[in-house]
Structure 1
């Protein structure tokens, strides 16, 4: 795939579903993130998986960087 093909096919999600993600898919996504390289080999990072409505409400009160 060339860069131009990639650029033409990319999209940004603007609306999210309330449907939960299956555990197998979530585990695969987290594993891909775990083994992916970091910029300039800057290793430390944190991933928070929030699944309950209460946790999502709490994070929205703490940061402006949350998807509604």
Structure 2
């Protein structure tokens, strides 16, 4: 199984890519700058199945939080 991190997954191409990869059976982690929009994207893509995406706020220009 493939695991994918998609940045900018809260809208546009990132969101569409996340939906397609989830439908193909991938494990997907969504990243978004805007926490609220990211949560909405997770809720929408979670409708694709029980193994929906995980996600959170991500700013690749800043320090890595882990």
TM over 0.5: no
Name the TM-score, length of structure 1 as normaliser: 0.31
Larger strand proportion of the pair: 2
Higher relative contact order (CA 8 A, sep 6+): 2
The structure with more radius of gyration: 1
